[in-house]
Amino acid sequence: SQQGEEDPQALSIQEGENATMNCSYKTSINNLQWYRQNSGRGLVHLILIRSNEREKHSGRLRVTLDTSKKSSSLLITASRAADTASYFCATDPGYSSASKIIFGSGTRLSIRP
């Protein structure tokens, strides 16, 4: 079963526009991570936000975390064709060094030229 659920499942926007993806999860977490996957290849880690952080930036990426609502959002500003990919959130409960990281079902982002 998946811990996180991304919304929307698919998103198509014009190049240059901003893209926002949301993630909801069910249990308490130590941190939440966002990953990108191109065409069924390996996942690339984008950004990690800890449970005591509310917002984090990395280049054109902005991630927010609301632990009271058990939700996170990923904003990609000034989108480019190369941003076309699937994006996954992953939660780390962190209750022990052996705790497992659980992925959501992903948002498929398509950037139109």
Partner 1 sequence: DAGVTQSPTHLIKTRGQQVTLRCSPKSGHDTVSWYQQALGQGPQFIFQYYEEEERQRGNFPDRFSGHQFPNYSSELNVNALLLGDSALYLCASSGDLGGSRTQYFGPGTRLLVL
With respect to partner 1, which residue has the nearer C-beta, 18 or 38? Answer: 38
Q: Which residues bind partner 1 (CB under 8 A)?
A: 1-2, 4, 30-31, 33, 35, 40-45, 48, 50, 88, 90, 92, 94, 97-106
Q: Min. distance of Cβ 55 from partner 1 in angstroms?
A: 17
- C-alpha 109: how far from its chain's center? 12
* SS3 assignment, position 26: coil
Q: Min. distance of Cβ 16 from partner 1 in angstroms?
A: 28
With respect to partner 1, which residue has the nearer C-beta, 7 or 15? Answer: 7
First to last CA, the chain: 36
With respect to partner 1, which residue has the nearer C-beta, 35 or 70? Answer: 35
Q: Min. distance of Cβ 93 from partner 1 in angstroms?
A: 11
Name the DSSP letter for residue 69.
T
Please provide the DSSP assignment of 70-103 as one string: TEEEEEE-S--GGG-EEEEEEEE--SSTTPPPEE
With respect to partner 1, which residue has the nearer C-beta, 15 or 48? Answer: 48
Distance from C-alpha of 58 to C-alpha of 108, rounded to nearest angstrom: 20
